[in-house]
Structure 1
Amino acid sequence: MTSHHRKIAVTTPTGQVGSRVVRLLLQAGVRPTLLLRDASKLDPGTRARVDVAEGDQADADYVIQATRGVDTLFWVSPPGTGDDPVDAYARLGANAARAVRENGIAHTVFQSSIGAEKRHGVGEIDGLARTEEQLNDTGAAVTHLRCGYFFSNLLGDVESLRAGVLRTPWPLDHSMPWVDPRDIGEVAAARLLAANWQGTRVQAVHGPEDLTFTQVAEILGGVLGHEVKPEQLSDDEFRSVLTSVGLPAAQVDGIAGMSAGLTGDFVPEDERSVLTTTPTTLAAWARQHLVDAR
């Protein structure tokens, strides 16, 4: 089956990863089906070249209807709006698995996270681990992209970066993969377009290099032109920050549990290699996205 006849569906197509996937599929000559809440968010040039199914991924009937006749699916679970993120991710994963089964979707690429391999004890990533298991149980071909820490998480810290401080619950000397979401989109698109693989497989997306928060602060300081000091928040301090912005207890646990569960002796199952390394550096990303935060 050539890629021109293959029907590919993409969830979260206006997100940082999904929008890159959509652009590459269009450039490869594919007319994808996009699952999204609001088609007006698409630019007119894209809108004219895709099929749109509007609805909510939390609605199983909608997901099944929208993916009828689909051969290949890119599934991203949007951040849960419910009080319990692990439960929300698991419910979304159940919808994806049901659509794969009922519609006979041959290949699925799932945007997971480093840490999902632990299966338990990694905060909201446990919900992505459930989804990996649910998709594995379908018996269809599935690739789990276990992604590193998004550069774009820094966009929530623009005010403190402007003030010269990078606060984090992670130990400052803990080295881990950091990645540009756009590069995840490139790996996802390559997998979707190939769709010649079988069984269940894992492909990590580790970005160009592992970084500690101390190194991240140094890189950001170089780009922003002023010193950025890294500062570790204790678990209690971090939780009180999250509580103070109105997050319910299960969401606080979900967010705080990620850094707690991935430090210590955790090593990603899929090691850094030519298959898991992507090109965009943190400095290049920061020059594009953070320079106005000087």
Structure 2
Amino acid sequence: MNENTNSTQQPRTSTAATGTTAGTAGAPRTVLVTGGTGKTGWRVAERLTALGHTARIGSRTAPVPFDWEDDTTWDAALDGVTAAYLAYYPDLAFPGAVETVDAFARHAAKAGVRQLVLLSGRGEEAAQAAEQAVAAAGTGWTVVRCAWFSQNFSEAFFLEPVLSGELALPVGAAVEPFVDADDIADVAVAALTEDGHDGEVYELTGPRLLSFVDVAAELSAATGREIRFTAVSVEEYRAVLATVGLPGEFADLFTMILDGRNAHLADGVRRALGRPARDFADYARATAASGVWNV
């Protein structure tokens, strides 16, 4: 439950400067950024533009429309593109995602795309199948396999619970090494524009394991007001999702991903960028200062 949950939200409140990346940047490229209005997508596009590349936003409402489920949009979106950032909506764990990503990756290879960077999720078997499909498509490739995003609490449907003062989620005592979307974007842009990242699987986490009780405490400290965590059942949470128009399957992802399989740290940020991952507390303080959690 990462990039594309409530992906149309894209407040320009990036809480970290673009990081310094390792490697050697090549000539300007035209890069298709699917999910270009999502939490990492707009950050990737912004960084590409700042580096002198052309970022083509891949969305249904873009000037050149792109729709994962409509392959008649793919040729125009890929015209002149040399690299692409793949952020599948709604999630790689959803039925049909692997087949769609596989078909698109092979289509991109035939269109002359030389590098694909896939946004993937930790602990999801379907996501790993999508990774294998991209690796077999016939282009250069990099996988950016991510923990849960810190920005889920400020740019997605966790925002309203934070504003209300209560995070009611079906997670119990599970812990997660939340990763900052700015770190993800920095790694993705490095892989899209520099040598030395082909064939790499970068598993990205933050530097600490946090329970949702810990998260509530960090958010409380950053905002200066009490934010509580309350455990609810999957059924109760599925009903909440229905009220905000999100698929009930997202509730099942809680039990699948937060069953302990991801309760460990990884060094993907440091391997890709040569610097440590950003801590959740730093994200919380900077985001609080932006005013997005003001009530």
1:282 matched to which residue of 2?
283
What CA RMSD, in Å, does the superposition of the two structures yield over aligned residues?
3.0
The answer on whether the counterparts of 1:74 and 1:110 sit within 8 Å (CA) in structure 2 is: yes
Q: Equivalent residue of 1:190, what SS?
A: helix
Q: How far did residue 145 of structure 1 move?
A: 0.8
TM-score (normalised: structure 2): 0.76
CA distance in 1, matches of 2:245, 2:56: 36
CA distance in 1, matches of 2:263, 2:74: 31
CA distance in 2, matches of 1:214, 1:78: 29
1:138-179, CA deviations, whole angstroms, 9 ceiling, x for partnerless residues? 14322111112122322424444344322111123x221212
CA distance in 2, matches of 1:93, 1:85: 12
1:47 matched to which residue of 2?
none
Q: Where is the helix percentage greater, Structure 1 or Structure 2?
A: 1
Identity %: 25
1:108 matched to which residue of 2?
116
The answer on whether the counterparts of 1:8 and 1:70 sit within 8 Å (CA) in structure 2 is: yes
- For structure 2, the residue ranges without an aligned partner over 5 or more in a row are 1-23
1:41-92, CA deviations, whole angstroms, 9 ceiling, x for partnerless residues? xxxxxxxxxxx52232322232133213432211111327xxx971252353
Q: Within 5 Å, give how 1:1-294 maps onto structure 2.
A: 3-39=26-62, 53-79=64-90, 86-116=94-124, 119=125, 126=126, 128-155=127-154, 156-172=157-173, 174-199=174-199, 201-243=200-242, 251-252=247-248, 254-267=249-262, 271-272=266-267, 274-275=270-271, 277-279=276-278, 281-288=282-289, 292-294=293-295
CA distance in 2, matches of 1:177, 1:290: 25
CA distance in 1, matches of 2:244, 2:35: 26
Q: Equivalent residue of 2:64, what SS?
A: strand
1:110-130, CA deviations, whole angstroms, 9 ceiling, x for partnerless residues? 1111123xx1xxxxxx3x334
1:3-47, CA deviations, whole angstroms, 9 ceiling, x for partnerless residues? 2254432222233312221222222222233333324xxxxxxxx
- For structure 1, the residue ranges without an aligned partner over 5 or more in a row are 40-51, 120-125
Q: Equivalent residue of 1:287, what SS?
A: helix
Compare 184-193 and 96-105 and name the one that shifted more.
96-105
CA distance in 1, matches of 2:265, 2:135: 17
Q: CA 1:167/1:293 → structure 2, altered by over 3 Å: closer, same or farther?
A: farther
Q: How far did residue 255 of structure 1 move?
A: 1.1
Q: Equivalent residue of 2:277, what SS?
A: coil
How many pairs does the alignment contain?
264
